[in-house]
Amino acid sequence: MAATLEARTAREEAVEAGGRPPPSPLAGSLTLLQHPPVYTLGAGATADHLKFDPEHPPHPLFRVERGGEATHHCPGQLTLYPILDLTTPGLLPDLHWWLRGLEEVALRAAAAAGAAAVRPAFGARHADAERAAAAVATGSRIEGMTGAWLPSGKVAAVGVRATRWVTYHGLALNVDPDLSGFSAIVPCGIADRPVTSLAAAVAAVAGGEGFPAALAVGAPGQGPLMGAAAAAALGAFADVFGVELVGVGGEGGRRKG
């Protein structure tokens, strides 16, 4: 997390100074990653939503530049950090538009991951497969709140910042993390709504022994569900914001046409 923050801070400073860091332009990149377990506080957040002593956190605690309150990052959570110049033709210099777009990316990624990984994992159990895929495809927004939601809880958090309409921070989608880490905070300052994940939504439908072994392979963030979610998130991001993603295994984005 510290290395990620240092790299992003250097990029922000370059933009604020009117420059672009070599070797690639600052605005026009997308990074996908999984963090080790950490907690973060937004720029204006207080420690009121931490259930632990900030001097002795259960995992490293960072204050970052995004908006919003406390959140938790960990393996099994897919985090997207897009850096885009919203004044680029085809985009819109409007943070509400940007937030709604990131929410749409999360909702589409959840549904596509269900189709690509969840449904096939149930094999011949067609009825269970359809119910499980539907469980992650029925996401929505909640008026007055930021993020993406499944019927069982919040599945994606969004926290952003923009400098000269160049965006930082972004989207965190819970794919198959250990959700226990969220119990040490009031996630996003919302005390009365639970946090969930794609895997938890599938497990609730499948129940006990019904959870498909094909989705349980590997450590958190290393199984087929994460692979499907990462691919789906890239596709959804490109579609929602009308960008063409270029570069293999790295970050990069450019406008179509």
* Active centre residues (catalytic): 188
CB 158 within 8 A of CB 146: yes
List, edge to edge, every strand of the sheet that includes 153-163. Answer: 29-33, 77-83, 166-174, 153-163, 148-150
Structure tokens at 149: 């939601």
CB 78 within 8 A of CB 173: yes
Q: Which whole-number Å values give the CA distances from 74 to 98, 101, 165, 178, 256, in the listed order?
A: 24, 23, 29, 8, 33
CB 22 within 8 A of CB 245: no
Structure tokens at 52: 């632990």
CB 85 within 8 A of CB 165: yes
